[in-house]
Structure 1
Amino acid sequence: MTKKTALVVSAHSADFVWRCGGAIALHQQLEYDVTVVCLSYGERGESAKLWKKPEMTLEKVKAERRKEAENAARALDVHDIRFFDLGDYPLEMDRAAKDQLIDVIRAVQPDFMLSHSQYDPYNTDHMYATSVALECRMIAQAWGHNPGEKVLGAPQLYLFEPHQTEQMNWKPDVFLDITPVWEKKRAAIECMLGQEHLWEYYTRVAENRANHFTRNSGGQSGGRAAKYAEGFQSVFPRTVDQL
């Protein structure tokens, strides 16, 4: 039987933790191999606490951010984590960097992919990462790109929750119960020492989404209780045999 896989495209090295750490840990527990690609470390724009330390340098910040992400990946049982080190604020990708991501997509052959909301006026790195993920997904499907390689099928791209949903045109249509792996996600969150101010925020997000999971699974009339959940918005239609 072919191993099931998933791929996360994370703009910065902490994004995968806050936004889909539960999905990662849960699917690893379901025997998926989940690969995480961090396009940047978030060294310029998402490391304020580190920059406030005396004699801090860009390379020191990158090293700290990488260590945090690797520790978080271990907490979530991530199969593989890749660091592209493309820089942030702004995140930019040339043809070679996009080809590198396409190579990963084809190698992983994900059953589904995860990335950011398609609009984010507070952090254009996020929506840029998703734009690139969509572009590279498309190219990975092209038979004429590196002929002879196995082409990509049609994995769903799920958009994980942004920081301020009201401003992002993000509308979840999938809620995932992550209660069984919450302790792993919380442990991963606590690896992000440079952004401690977000620890409780994303705990509350998971609790709120659990309420939505329960309500949408039947509410008080047969709904399934959940303590922690994550929300996602799917980009592509899903093919079904029954509703």
Structure 2
Amino acid sequence: MTKLDILVIAAHPDDAELGCSGTILSHVAKGYKVGIVDLTQGEMGTRGTPEIRLQEAEEAGKILKLTARENLGFKDIYFLNDKAHQLKLIEVIRKYQPEIVIANAVTDRHPDHGKGSELASKACFMSGLRKIETSYNGQNQEPWRPKFVYHYIQNNYINPDFIVDITPYWDEKIASIMAFKSQFFDPNSKEPSSFISDPEFLPFIESRARDFGHRIMTTYGEGFTVERYIGVDDLFDLK
């Protein structure tokens, strides 16, 4: 078992890169161990294939310097927030024992995002219940509940509860996004167009990051929502 400081849960490969890769890079640079678990292979997407998406996720993981990345193979669009899916995600949470989980937006244009958010939140709570039994590699797992669950912001605008300065990591964030080259604008692509392959989509991602950055008096930021209040010991910890 490799213990992680932060586990990012994403409904689709590229969700984490679009939503919080700057924050991932920032914390990896500070020495934290960060991993991503993608729930699906994004196989219902307009462009690319599951095999291509897995290759792209591996390349993005190298750019982000992840400690771990895995794909649970849930059915894109059709996965549920039910017992079978909860138990599988609990196994992963107990396997990596993260202090912090960052999950999909609480609501969004794509229904899998809100559904993935709810699944992650419930699994994080359930993972701490001793009477829920799971195993990994034939060994019974100990209960584990992350200290914090945060949610990144995706397509739909949600007013953030806090914003992370990602200015020093902007170029690497974009590189991690563009590792998913099958998904985004390419004038030479023969595949059908999609919502995110529109040439205006990546400028939208930048404008959102600039808006969040402006709010904290920096250039680029990523916004997050919380499930409970954040406490501090020192007012000077706030920027």
Paired with 1:143 and 1:89, the residues of 2 have a C-alpha distance of: 31
1:207 counterpart (207, 210, 216): 210
Q: Which of 8-17 and 170-179 deviates more?
A: 170-179
Measure how far apart 1:92 and its partner are: 2.9
Equivalent in the alignment of 1:194: 182
Q: Which residue of 2 aligns with 1:40?
A: 40
Deviation per residue, 1:45-97 (Å, 9 max, x gap): x3x233xxxxxxxxxx1001111111111111111111111121233355343
Structure 2 distance, partners of 1:204, 1:150, is: 43
Greater percentage in helix: 1
Q: Determine the structure 1 residue equivalent to 2:91.
A: 103
CA separation of 1:83 and 1:154: change in aligned 2, threshold 3 A: closer
Q: Which residue of 1 aligns with 2:219?
A: 227
Which residue number in structure 2 is paired with residue 86 of structure 1?
74
Is 1:150 aligned with 2:142?
A: yes
| 2:235 pairs with 1:237 | no
1:13 and 2:13 correspond = yes
SS at match of 2:73: coil
**Is it true that 1:77 corresponds to 2:65 in the alignment?**
yes
Q: TM-score, normalised by structure 2?
A: 0.82
Q: How many equivalent residue pairs?
A: 214
The alignment status of 1:119 with 2:107, answered yes or no, reads: yes
2:23 maps to a residue whose letter is A
* Runs of at least 5 residues in structure 1 that lack an aligned partner in the other structure: 51-60, 215-225
- Opposite residue 201 of structure 1, the aligned amino acid is F
1:161-180 equivalences in 2 (<5 Å): 161-165=153-157, 170-180=158-168
Query: How many angstroms apart in 2 are the aligned matches of 1:242 and 1:75?
Result: 34
Structure 2 residues not aligned, in runs of 5+? 135-139, 185-196
Percent same amino acid at aligned positions?
Answer: 26
| Distance in 2, Cα, partners of 1:152 & 1:69 | 27
